Structure formats: structure tokens, C-alpha cells
Amino acid sequence: MPSCSTTASRIARRSSSPRRRDAVTVTRPPSRTRVIVARENSEPYGSLKASPSPTVNHLVPYCGGPRVTRHAHTRRDRLLRADAHAGRHDHQRRDHQRRAFPQIRDGLDLSPGGLAWVSNAFLLAYGGLLLLGGRAGDVLGRRRVFAWGTALFTAALSRRWMLLVNVPIGVLVVALTPRVLAESPREGGRFDLAGALTSALGLALLALGLARVGNPPLALGAGALLLVAFVLVERRAARPVTPLRLFADRARASALPALLLIPMTTMSAQFLIVQYLQEALGWGALLAGLAFLPMALGMLVTARYAPRLMGTLSARSVALLGTVALTGGLAWLCFLPQTGGYALGVAGPLLLIGAGLGFVVVPFNMTIMSTVAPADSGAAAGLLQTAMLTGASLGIAVLSGVYASSVDGRPSPPSTIAHGMSGAFTVATGIAAVALVIVAAAFRTPRPPVPDAPREAAFSETTSR
């Protein structure tokens, strides 16, 4: 096996050879070959700090032993665990809220449309301020904003003890943050408060207008005007919360409409099915929560294997497969039984929807984030989450209105509930079909950045185990 110094000198000679400058041939190394990628003038391999250049300049031999790599993997694993705890923090809150919907409705004497706003109030505040939150991470530092946000979320414990579970999780996430999340450099400058306010208020009024279809469209008009004002503000802002250059990439611009439409159906399905299980089938809150395990299982499996399929197929093909699956699951839910029949009537569709979501979310996330410059990564992440949460709030507003129009009185018999659910899921299937058309016709796999060929070299070192 050649030494590190010998191998490095060979790379220097090969990279300086004139006949190798005009083309670079990349071959797949064998299973026992390790290829190490590094960037010129960057941090040592294994560092989690961002490189100043997004393109690969050269490949260098792996000569430092496994210690640095193991440290990087350990730190990355801790970072992923902290992020997973933060995600579970949010998802547990949503799950507890969904299971408590019947009690909230009875305690506050809410109509089905009013009950939808118990969920929408949070989703709109969350989604509307995500643009500002994502940009705040770029400006103030991501570790600082992550810790502040988690602490604020944990401090919002109400007297409703079902939210007590958020406290230890939030404390754990805040404690882990300084150890596993490297602080990003602060950019400085002012926040784009005008952009944050116009986007948040515009989305809220738009959802309110859609939930009150049939009334004078004052909210819809005001929301549309505020969103137009938001675009004008972002064009002139020195530090916009959503840089409009994020929409210049065709693959990213085509993924965002689908990411808006798909949560309109899936989040609304969860909102409606909880009411169906507790009101039509008479299930308790615990069983209603456990009923969503097939959906979680389907998403867990497909999200794990989606990156492997993307290596064989394209991101577009995987996203198309997922959209077809969740559209089929929503169409299946149009035939909810009036009594019983959970396995075929509910579990089967939820499993199919979850499997479709895993195949959809992974390629869309990778498409939106893979070609973003490091300085815009926070804004791009905020835009991605805003699209999903805005779609969820709009979907709940629309589909709960469809369901409420079919339900007369409270409580309603199972036949009336099933009929109202069928109408709502028919609309949801139509929305998913529109997303399917967008994915099939407009979504494209992003092109990776082209490396600087004259300065690039390939190196592979065969290791023995």
C-alpha cells in the first residue's frame, strides 16, 4: 500500500498533467475502497462547519486514521438526536391536541368549523413566522435561535396537564444544544420585519377567507393584497426573510407548490379521522391516537429507503410514486364504514398515505435544500416548512368546512358523520390529484453543482480490514 506522501505526490503530478485537465473520469470504487472528499481552504475533514465554497475542488487521500471520522460521526449523531427530540416535541403536541378535540369542542361549545381553528390558530402562527425564524438563524446564529425557540416553546406550558410531557423534552433539547450544535457565523443587519408581518398576516387572512366561503370575501381580498405587498417588500429589502432568488431554481420552484398541496390533504385527514374514530366509532382518546400507528410505520419504512431508490431512479420518479400512493389512500378514505371495519376502512388507507408521504417528503426536501447557498439555508428551510404548514392550515380550513356543511346538529349519527367525511375526502383526493399532475408535469430532479474540472483529481485508497 503506498504511503500518504507518495500518494499525495502522485495526485499532484496527475492533476498538473495537461492531458488530464480537459476531462475528468469518475469511476465507482469497489466496496473496499474509501474515497475522501475535501474542499480547498476549508476546515479539516470531519468538521461540521460550512465550507466557504459549495463546489468540490479536489479529493485528498485519507491518511489520518479513523479518529477524526469517528468524532465527526459521533457529533453528527448527537446533532440528529437533538433535532429528533425537537421534532418529537412538536409532533407530540399535535397528537395530544388531536386526541383532545372532542373534549375541547364540548367544553367550549364549538361547531366543527370553530374546532378547526383550534388547530389552525397554531399552524398559522407557526407557519407565518417560520420565514422570520429561518432567517433569524442566518442572522443571529442557528444554535442561539434553536435554543431560544425550544425554551420558548417549553415555557408555553398551559394549565392543561396533557402538555406537561413537553417540559422534560424541551429541557433535554436545550441542554443538548450547546454540546452538539456548532454556532453559525452571524451576518448582522436588520430583520425584515415588514416582510415577516405581511407574510404572516396575509397567510392568516387567506386561511380565514377560505374557511368562510360563502361570506363576503373581505378576508380573501385582504390576504391576497398583503401577499402581493410581501413580494414587493422582499424585492426591495436588503436582508429579505425570503430571498426571491430561491425561486430561480426550476426544481425548487416546482417542488414548493406540491409541498403546499400535499399537506392540505394529509394533515386534514388526521384532523378528520380523529373525529370519525371518537364520534362515529366511539373510541377513546388513547385508542384514537394509536390508530395512526400504520401511517407512522408506512412513512418510517419508505423514508428510510427513499434515498436508496433515488440512487437508482430519479427524485422525480420517487416523488411521483409517493404522490400516487397517498392519492390512492385518500380515495380509499372516501368509503369510510359507518360502524367498525378499522383494519380495511382506516388502517389500510393510513398505511398507504404514510408510505406515500415517505416517498414524497424525502426527495422534495433534498431538492429544495441541496442547491441552496449556505447563507440562504435558514431562509430556504423556513420557506419549505412554511409551505407545508400553510398547506396544512388551508386544508383544515377548507375540508372542515366541507365536513361541517354535511353535519347537522351535534352529536350526529354515524351515518351522517361518515357521509360528511366522504365528501371531505373526495375534495382531498381532488387536491392530491392536482399535486400529482404538478409532480408529473413540472417537477425536475435538481442538477448537482459542476466542480472545477481542471483542479479536480480523483483518489481512492484500498483499505484492508
- Assign 186 to helix, strand or coil: coil
Residue 434's pLDDT band (boundaries 50, 70, 90)?
Answer: very high
Domain boundaries along the sequence of the chain: 116-141+184-441
- Assign 189 to helix, strand or coil: coil
Inter-residue contact 253 to 233 (CB < 8 Å): no
> Burial level of 161, CB count in 10 A (0-12/13-18/19+)?
exposed
Q: What is the pLDDT of residue 431?
A: 95
Q: What is the pLDDT of residues 141-153, one digit of tens each?
A: 666 776 666 666 5
All three cell numbers of 281, joined, read 366509532
Output 422 or 454, whichever has higher pLDDT: 422
For residue 387, is pLDDT > 80?
yes
**Weakest mean pLDDT among 61-75, 134-148, 150-164, 222-236:** 61-75
Which of the given ranges, 103-117, 182-196, 221-235, has the highest pLDDT on average? 221-235
The number of C-alpha atoms within 13 Å of 461 and in the hemisphere containing its C-beta is 23
**Weakest mean pLDDT among 192-201, 254-263, 299-308, 352-361:** 192-201
- The answer to whether the predicted template modeling score (pTM) of the entire model surpasses 0.85 is no
Q: What is the pLDDT of residue 75?
A: 56
Q: What is the pLDDT of residue 348?
A: 93
All three cell numbers of 52, joined, read 466557504
Q: What is the DSSP letter of 213?
A: B
All three cell numbers of 238, joined, read 436588503
All three cell numbers of 242, joined, read 425570503
- CB within 8 A of 439, min separation 6: which ones? 258, 316, 319, 320, 323
For residue 174, is pLDDT > 90?
no
Euclidean distance between CA atoms 459 and 2, whole angstroms = 12
Euclidean distance between CA atoms 349 and 342, whole angstroms = 10
* Arithmetic mean of pLDDT, 268-294: 86
Q: Give the fold, CATH level 3, of 116-141+184-441.
A: Growth Hormone; Chain: A; (1.20.1250)
**Weakest mean pLDDT among 160-174, 199-213, 356-370:** 160-174
**Weakest mean pLDDT among 11-15, 21-25, 173-177:** 21-25
* Arithmetic mean of pLDDT, 433-444: 88
- Assign 26 to helix, strand or coil: coil
Residue 20's pLDDT band (boundaries 50, 70, 90)?
Answer: very low
| Amino acid symbol at 455 | R
Q: What is the pLDDT of residues 40-52, one digit of tens each?
A: 343 433 333 333 3
Q: What is the pLDDT of residue 253?
A: 82
Euclidean distance between CA atoms 209 and 214, whole angstroms = 9
All three cell numbers of 402, joined, read 366541507
Query: What does the radius of gyration of the chain's CA atoms come to, in whole angstroms?
Result: 25
**Weakest mean pLDDT among 71-85, 199-213, 356-370, 387-401:** 71-85
Mean pLDDT (the chain) is 71
Euclidean distance between CA atoms 152 and 147, whole angstroms = 9
The DSSP result for 109-178, as a single string, is: T--HHHHHHHHHHHHHHHHHHHHHHHHHHHHH-HHHHHHHHHHHHHHT--S-GGGTTHHHHHHHHHHHHH
Per-residue b or e along 293-316, where b marks 16 or more CB atoms closer than 10 Å to that residue's CB = ebbeebbeebbeebeebbeebebb
Q: What is the pLDDT of residue 426?
A: 94
% of residues, the chain, pLDDT over 90: 13
Euclidean distance between CA atoms 92 and 456, whole angstroms = 47
Residue 445's pLDDT band (boundaries 50, 70, 90)?
Answer: low
